[in-house]
Structure 1
Amino acid sequence: MKINPVIRKISILPNSDICGTSTMLANLIKQTDFDAIIIGGGACGLMCAVQAGFLGKRTLILEKNDKVGAKILISGGGRCNYTNLYASPKQFISQNEHFAKSAFAQWTVDDTISFFETYGIIGKEKTLGQLFPQSNKAADVVKVFTELCHDLDQEILTEADVKSIDQVDGGFEVTYENKGKTINLYSSKVVIAAGGLPIQKMGATDFGLRIARKFGLTIADTAPALVPLTITGKEQQWYEQLSGNSIFCRVWNDKVSFEENILFTHWGLSGPAILQISSYWRPGEFIYIDLLPNQNIAQLIQCERETNGKKTLLNYLSGLYTRKFAEALNGYLPIEKNLASLSKTDLGAIDDLIHQFKVKPAGDKGYDKAEVMRGGVSTNELSSKSMETKKVPGLFFGGECVDVTGWLGGYNFQWAWASGFVIAQNI
């Protein structure tokens, strides 16, 4: 049973900023004797502060932006898919596939659901287990944390740009800038919950990785994940003409497969299935697309031509896809032929293209279009039970900057909540 001692109905305070903390703190630090300083006011940092407060511990969050929860606020199109009913270690990528098991055992999906229900957020299930607030407002999720931090006497300072962290006297000196002033604070524990490299316009930096390197920690290779894929060269024009077309597909490689929509764009491919496979794709590799999953195109054509053999392949495919997409297949298939005229060779070509559409992406759209970062602080450097670094006692890493990357659809939030909870138990 998790400790949730502060139980009340969450309400918006008059004239308050539910996402920032200027009204809460007036940008003043009321004390410097904290059990831990948390760098980053995102999902992991906020959960860590609240859970520490439940245990009677005092924390300070230093957030670079003028508001906490920036990525929470834009997630799920501003609705925040704050967990996934099916989340388990199986949906996460890491050099150590077992690392996340301890955190997910300590803080489960049921714990997430119960936590938010306690503070007024009832989940609404959407596609593939994604859970959204019934209000469809990501701001409600952030408000839970800002108001709990206030109630639990956890302090948050926004516009605090941390410049350095140094080991001193059995603890850490944290140097940050706020409104033109340089300030030094001391704490025996420091939590790095600074997120990953996406999205720079929202303040994302490599700060967490730089601190890890400074203390001699290994970094698993980083790359954009859950990101659209690009097509260049002579094939780009074909994708451009289909921009805006969305098709339910099965997308796969030799590692994994996903059944969701793909979206053709003027620069390549996007949509949920493409974002999912991108986390498993590496430059130079192919991906494969079944444009008609769970059906057999050759069998469907055989049945159709028994009753309507004069129908052209173009008209038949236009019934399965958009006319524009069917017409775009002209360079690959004999779309002007009647169904009755299709040879075995024709049917084989149709089957291959529809069920094994082969794509070799040129690259991806980079961190500014990525949902998350793959890689990060190596799990070999951390205790799976506490998220504390093995080499530097008192230094913790959690959330996206750790080499644990989830699927699209609320999985990465579940990791953020779980790792934040685990750290709070150990600071």
Structure 2
Amino acid sequence: MEYETLILGAGAAGMMCAAHAGPGVLVVDHARAPGEKIRISGGGRCNFTNLEVRPERFLSQNPHFCKSALARYTQWDFIDLVSRHGIAWHEKTLGQLFCDGKATQIVAMLLREMQAAGAELRLSAEARDIGHDGSRFTAVIRHDGRDQPVRARSLVLATGGKSIPKMGASGYAYDLAAQFGLALVPPRPGLVPLTFPEGRFAALAGVSLPVRASAAEAVFDEAMLFTHRGLSGPSILQASSYWQEGAPVTVNLLPGGRLGQILRDKRRREGKRALTTELAEHLPQRLVAWLAGETDLGGRLGDLSDRRIDALCATLEGWELRPAGTEGWRTAEVTLGGVATAALSSRSMEAAAVPGLYVIGEAVDVTGWLGGYNFQWAWSSGVAAGRAIAERLREA
């Protein structure tokens, strides 16, 4: 079978590319249903983009690479697409946009867009023996128990990264990219809970509070959750993408910055009040009890010196922690690293050394913040490749 374009992966990026790549598109995926990560995202409501998308909220060895695709297909373009399909949505927090209904509405929208473009979709299918015969890319598609040889002018790698392996995620895109000589940035788990040795926070499992979490140069003001294995919650997931093994993470348990003044004021007015009683007004009680076993929180407010207040504030507002590691691919929401951007055109996502080969979405060394940024990268990079392929077809 001859096709113009063979897209490997029916996820967010692959389906978006198929809707824009012109005629003669075949999309192949091993899953039984398309867009599985879309379906489970956002608690089943799909956090499909963010109002605050901008390049500095994406990680890559080349922080400028994402600018072109994000500028040419923006969050506003995708919002317009969602609205044209009659999908109701709302803003939750920090610019995060969710469907009012189910995430499957986004999957159905993309399938309609693909159908309108004439793209063919094969699920529960496997692409084998990928190669190039000198004029076109070649593959053998295993589907319904039969092998079918396929040739295509363009090949798009949209199989994602290694995060969430229970859904079939693997390093397949990296293997194919390496086969064609493209360099890789070593993949590692991103947006992932941090672990600590010996169940350090097991007694606090389930406790959540707003914090300011910092790793390297990045700072995030969101919730933190204690778990049996360590720390999670949005602030920690965000910081994890910047954290390097052996480095500390700093947590400000009271990011409002007013504890020192509050303690000084109450020292005069309520001197007999226990320090732990006062701290429980600002922090979860279980956390205060735990901290009392880690540092001196004894005594009454009236007994506090200015020096002790300053030391206590420094401890609670600059709690330095050294994680043992992360929970790994099993719970990571995204993949950091991937196909090196130096090998790709930022305008078209095409490999400079392999004409007709495109890499999009999570497979590329571009990773966004938590909150819809990674879906926007999927939409933008998918459209960039799709439009480039369609333009080449028109010129042929």
Give the TM interval when normalised to the shorter protein.
Answer: over 0.9
Secondary structure class of the residue paired with 1:324: helix
Unaligned runs of 5+ in 1: 1-31
Structure 1 residue 75 displacement after superposition: 0.7
**Aligned match of 1:412:** 374
Structure 2: distance between partners of 1:402 and 1:83: 18
Contact kept, 8 Å, 2:211 with 2:254, in 1: the verdict is yes
Structure 2: distance between partners of 1:70 and 1:254: 33
Contact kept, 8 Å, 2:267 with 2:304, in 1: the verdict is no
Matched, 1:188 2:153: yes
**Aligned match of 1:73:** 39
Structure 2: distance between partners of 1:373 and 1:162: 22
**Aligned match of 1:333:** 295
Q: 1:51 aligns with which of 15, 20, 37?
A: 20
| Mapping for residues 274-353 of structure 1, pairs under 5 Å | 274-353=236-315
**Aligned match of 1:218:** 183
Contact kept, 8 Å, 1:297 with 1:350, in 2: the verdict is no
Q: Which amino acid aligns with 2:144?
A: K
Structure 1 residue 47 displacement after superposition: 0.5
Secondary structure class of the residue paired with 1:150: helix
**Aligned match of 1:34:** 3
Deviation readout 1:137-159 (Å, 9 max, x if unpaired)? 10000011122323332110001
Secondary structure class of the residue paired with 1:36: strand
Contact kept, 8 Å, 1:297 with 1:354, in 2: the verdict is no
Structure 1 residue 305 displacement after superposition: 1.7
Contact kept, 8 Å, 1:333 with 1:349, in 2: the verdict is no
Deviation readout 1:24-58 (Å, 9 max, x if unpaired)? xxxxxxxx332201000000001011122xxx423
Q: 1:138 aligns with which of 96, 103, 110?
A: 103
Matched, 1:84 2:46: no
Structure 1 residue 77 displacement after superposition: 1.1
Q: Percent identity?
A: 40
Contact kept, 8 Å, 1:301 with 1:339, in 2: the verdict is yes
| Mapping for residues 6-405 of structure 1, pairs under 5 Å | 32-52=1-21, 56-135=22-101, 137-233=102-198, 236-237=199-200, 239-405=201-367
Structure 1 residue 195 displacement after superposition: 0.4
Question: Which deviates the most, 255-264 or 174-183?
Answer: 174-183
Q: Which amino acid aligns with 2:267?
A: R
Question: Which deviates the most, 330-339 or 65-74?
Answer: 330-339
**Aligned match of 2:392:** none
Secondary structure class of the residue paired with 1:336: coil
**Aligned match of 1:12:** none
Q: Which amino acid aligns with 2:329?
A: Y
Structure 1 residue 186 displacement after superposition: 0.5
Q: Which amino acid aligns with 2:168?
A: G
Q: TM-score, normalised by structure 2?
A: 0.96
Structure 2: distance between partners of 1:129 and 1:353: 32
Secondary structure class of the residue paired with 2:280: helix
Contact kept, 8 Å, 2:362 with 2:378, in 1: the verdict is yes
Structure 2: distance between partners of 1:91 and 1:217: 25
Structure 2: distance between partners of 1:164 and 1:193: 17
**Aligned match of 2:393:** none
Structure 1 residue 122 displacement after superposition: 3.1
Structure 1 residue 66 displacement after superposition: 0.4
Deviation readout 1:45-89 (Å, 9 max, x if unpaired)? 01011122xxx4231110110000010001111110000000011
Unaligned runs of 5+ in 2: 390-396
Contact kept, 8 Å, 2:361 with 2:381, in 1: the verdict is yes
| Equivalent pairs, count | 389
RMSD: 1.2
Contact kept, 8 Å, 2:7 with 2:28, in 1: the verdict is yes
Contact kept, 8 Å, 1:36 with 1:191, in 2: the verdict is yes
Structure 1 residue 422 displacement after superposition: 0.5
Q: 1:426 aligns with which of 383, 388, 395?
A: 388
